[in-house]
């Protein structure tokens, strides 16, 4: 049974967001490791999953950011041991690379709230829960990857054909960001202000779209992650009498 998630974090504001709420409801602790600062374990315990989060660097830039090799080694070890692995944005790119796929600059930056198109496999997967948000998610990336061998493509957009993939129930890569809490968007706008200016995106537009889509996306993302945990056989904790009374 999974009791904790080791989450590799590259920038402070790109955390597990709403996914952490779902983990807490299942009694799963989140242990963050700061990329490039904290030492990473060589292996993960049997009760531990791995999450690799987003960040504004390339998954292929180990010459500039050598710690990426440590992350790849840990991903390799987790995959070899059969541990659940979740990759988001940069994390999905690193996961794809660990699975032998090429990661490279995409045709254009994809930033903002917009839908993904689910493949038939995606509709049957945990991503099917995103229908509650009209499949609208937050995109924030410039790189992309080839679909790793032995995986299923779950989602696509016209700019980025490989938006999500899975390998069995325990390995999930998401190029987009369903985990965002809309109330925390300002942290992203501040942290990525140079990038937004460079591509001519007005932060006021992102605020407007977050107000429009945020609540539905949060609910859909929680349902999506709950479905992923269900697929891993991780149940919600039974409510105690005190907690049940508090909700009544």
CA angle, residues 48, 50, 54, in degrees to nearest 5: 155
Buried b (16+ CB within 10 A) or exposed e, 127-143: bbbbebbebbbbbbbeb
Cβ atoms of residues 217 and 133 within 8 Å: yes
Tokens of 228: 């992923």
CA-CA distance, 248 to 55, in Å (whole number)? 41
List residues bridging with 164 in a β-sheet.
Answer: 155, 174
Burial of 9 per CB tally in 10 Å (0-12, 13-18, 19+): buried
Cα 114 from Cα 108, distance rounded (Å): 15
CA-to-CA separations, 168 to 84, 139, 172, 231, in angstroms, rounded: 10, 24, 8, 10
Just list the catalytic residues.
Answer: 89, 177, 179
Q: Which of 203, 177, 184, 182 is nearest to 192 (CA)?
A: 203
């Amino acid at each position: 049974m999974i009791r904790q998630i080791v989450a590799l974090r590259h920038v402070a504001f790109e955390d597990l967001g709403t996914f952490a709420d779902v983990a807490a409801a299942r009694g799963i602790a989140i242990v963050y490791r700061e990329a490039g600062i904290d030492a990473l374990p060589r292996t993960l315990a049997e009760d531990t999953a791995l999450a690799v989060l987003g960040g504004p660097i390339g998954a292929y830039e180990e010459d500039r950011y050598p710690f990426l090799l440590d992350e790849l080694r840990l991903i390799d070890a987790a995959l070899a041991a059969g541990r659940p692995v979740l990759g988001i944005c940069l994390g999905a790119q690193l996961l794809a690379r660990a699975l032998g796929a090429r990661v490279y600059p995409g045709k254009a930056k994809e930033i903002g709230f917009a839908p993904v198109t689910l493949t038939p496999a995606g509709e049957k997967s945990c991503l099917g829960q995103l229908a509650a948000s009209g499949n609208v998610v937050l995109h924030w990336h410039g790189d992309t990857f080839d679909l790793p061998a032995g995986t299923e493509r779950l989602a696509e957009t016209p700019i980025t054909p490989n938006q999500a993939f899975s390998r069995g129930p325990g390995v999930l890569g998401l190029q987009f960001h369903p985990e965002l809490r809309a109330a925390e968007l300002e942290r992203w706008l501040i942290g990525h202000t140079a990038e937004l200016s460079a591509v001519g995106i007005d932060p006021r537009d992102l605020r407007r779209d977050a107000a429009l889509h945020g609540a539905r996306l949060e609910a859909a993302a929680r349902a999506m992650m709950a479905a992923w945990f269900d697929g891993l056989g991780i149940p919600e904790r039974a409510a105690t009498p005190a907690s049940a009374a508090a909700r009544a």
